[in-house]
Amino acid sequence: MTTISPLIAGNWKMNGLTSSLEELSALAQLLTTGEAPRAVVVVCPPATLLAAVAAQGASSGIMAGGQNCHVEAAGAHTGEVSAGMLADVGAQYVIVGHSERRADNHETDDLVRAKAEAAIGAGLKPIICVGETEAERDAGQAESVVAAQLASSVPDAAGQHEVIVAYEPIWAIGTGRTPSNDDIRQMHANIRDRLVERFGEKGAQIRILYGGSLKPVNAREILAIENVNGGLVGGASLLAKDFYTIISSV
């Protein structure tokens, strides 16, 4: 079986001011004085803090990531940030297709794939999000919905470049509810099968993260599930102590 080094990414969403960098310092302190983390650690702050997170995190091994990028490298796109701009200030990763952007900004699978391609083109590693709604799960469509998202959102370039897939059941994000461990195991196994089907041996090495109310209390058991190669953490990543507990659960 392929051994995949785990990755824990914190998505700060639209949270964080300059003062929040104190939490980053606290996290860095925990990571460097405690037991060495057995996971790659990524923090995805709002764009306003990205350069600071990249600079401040470097000494403790914390990598920086963006929360979104535009498909174009440059141009008349007021208010947008390109993948190259993220890379320019020190980002190494970028989240694309998060369910909140799919819902609030009407992002389609095709657009998400184009963003992932733009990220790869700029030398970033895209974290491509997929996941079903509660209605889709209740209708027994969870597997087919996620399979369709994977097919259309993950670019062919994933065969040659590093991409990460994040499975986030939409109904579990920020609600405190999580699927059963069996549900997570089954979905991650299905995702792995699809990736191997499409990309062969490379598909067996793509990290599949779990996201959706991943917290200190449930991290250890969820991160131990087969084909769960890390987590995409929301609210719990804003507090150094909570985020460190999740990182230490690997």
Catalytic residue among 70, 98, 161, 188: 98
Catalytic residue among 23, 100, 168, 188: 168
CA 227/CA 184 separation, integer angstroms:
9
What's 224's DSSP letter?
T
Which class for 152: exposed (0-12), middle (13-18), buried (19 or more C-beta within 10 A)?
middle
Burial track 120-140 (b if 16+ CB lie within 10 A, e otherwise): bbbebbbbbbbbbbeebbeee
Q: What single string gives the DSSP state of each residue in 11-43? A: E--S---GGGHHHHHHHHHHHHHSSPPSSEEEE
| Tokens matching residue 183 | 């549900």
Is 132 tagged catalytic?
no
Is 98 tagged catalytic?
yes
Decide: helix, strand or coil at residue 143. helix
Answer for the pair 233, 211: CB distance below 8 angstroms, yes or no. yes
CA 159/CA 41 separation, integer angstroms:
24
Q: How far is CA 159 from the centre of its chain?
A: 19
CA 166/CA 212 separation, integer angstroms:
10
Which class for 19: exposed (0-12), middle (13-18), buried (19 or more C-beta within 10 A)?
exposed
- The catalytic residue positions are 98, 168
